[in-house]
Amino acid sequence: MKTILTSVFMMALWLMLSGIYTPMLIGLGIVSVILVMFIVRRMDRIDGDHVRISIRPIHFFFYLFWLFIEIAKSNWTVTRVILARTMPIRQNLFEVPYTQKSDLGQVIFANSITLTPGTLTIETESGDFLVHALAYCPTDIEALADMDRRVTKIENGAEI
């Protein structure tokens, strides 16, 4: 059942991204999906390495909405820094602890930091990330702690 649902999703994505619905393109899409599913199933049998996705979809949807708002706010901050005559850049490297248990949760948190303009996750250590900020403010640590709590909530349903 999982293979069929994945195949249907991949085919729908193929059609949506292409925007062309000719028989040849649909046929190539079906062949591509079958080939990818064959390779994935074969790899699964050989290494047995599985990624368990333990994300709560509804919480994840609300997190994405919140993240888009944070990206917009950070865009505004970076735009002000760039357009200012004196370019008030206050670069800083600092450590941000994370509370996610799974690799997927940690990846979501690290990528969320990097997606937010003006911040970049540089290095991952056990228990924290090294983050670079373009326009550092002491409240950045609090904001990132809030982001950490939100990612942990989508990961395992813990309360914020």
Q: What is the mean pLDDT of residues 124-131?
A: 90
Pairwise CA distance, residues 56 & 62, whole Å: 10
Strands laid side by side in the 119-125 sheet:
92-97, 128-133, 119-125
Q: What is the mean pLDDT of residues 47-57?
A: 75
pLDDT digits (tens, 9 = 90+) for 54-102: 788 889 999 999 999 999 999 998 898 889 888 888 889 999 999 998 8
What pLDDT does 69 receive? 94
What pLDDT does 57 receive? 85
Interstrand relation of 128-133 and 92-97 (parallel, antiparallel or unpaired): antiparallel
Decide which of 54 and 23 is more confident: 23
